[in-house]
Amino acid sequence: MKNRRRSRRGFTLIEILLVLTIIGMLAGVTIFAIGGIGKRARVDTTKAILETVANALDTYQLHVGHYPSEEEGNLDALRVRPAFDTDQLADKWSGPYLKKAPVDAWSNPLSYEIRVATTTDSTEPPYRLWSNGPDLMSDTEDDINYWSEDESGTF
């Protein structure tokens, strides 16, 4: 009699399917975890951009004597010399204060408006500066505001 020894040279279909299932599950968990990190990174990046623009606004105010108005082009006045009413104001402008138009981490322009002070003792800046946030819609709870920090951690 011949002693036939059957050598096993590969994987069975069941073993291959089991390995593919495990790899798929690990990939799903990884993608889910990375998705949350990406959103948080964009929020943190937008906060840093808001801080940079706020510093540029404060520098503009120190040089010119007021924050840029709508007539001066709002945030565009930080990049391009506005058409001032007087030559004296034009001479005080020492920009550009920003190299390019400020956009948030979703590539949307930041919003800016001068606020009317309600009290003289306010700790809030005399302007509003914000991003519409991840949902890209204005006046929703995910907006990222510069002027005040709330319990969610957004400015």
Q: Please report where in the chains the tokens 């991003």 appear, as a residue.
A: 131
SS3 (DSSP) at 76? helix
For the segment 33-55, what is each residue's pLDDT rounded down to a tens digit?
777 777 888 888 999 999 999 99
Query: What's the farthest any 2 CA atoms get from each other in the chain?
Result: 112
Instruction: Count the Cβ atoms, other than its own, within 10 Å of residue 10.
Output: 7
Domains along the sequence of the chain with CATH: 16-145 (3.30.700.10)
Q: How far is residue 31 from each of residues 34, 83, 134, measured CA to CA in Å?
A: 5, 50, 19
Q: What is the pLDDT of residue 23?
A: 92
In this predicted structure, the answer to whether residue 32 has a pLDDT above a threshold of 80 is no
pLDDT tens-digit readout, 74-125: 899 899 888 888 888 888 988 889 999 899 988 899 989 887 665 555 666 7
Say what percent of the chain tops pLDDT 70. Answer: 82
Amino acid 62: pLDDT: 92
SS3 annotation, 5-71: CCCCCCCCHHHHHHHHHHHHHHHHHHHHHHHHHHHHHHHHHHHHHHHHHHHHHHHHHHHHCCCCCCC
pLDDT range class, residue 149, cuts 50, 70, 90: very low
Average pLDDT over residues 60-64: 91
CA distance 81 to 99: 12
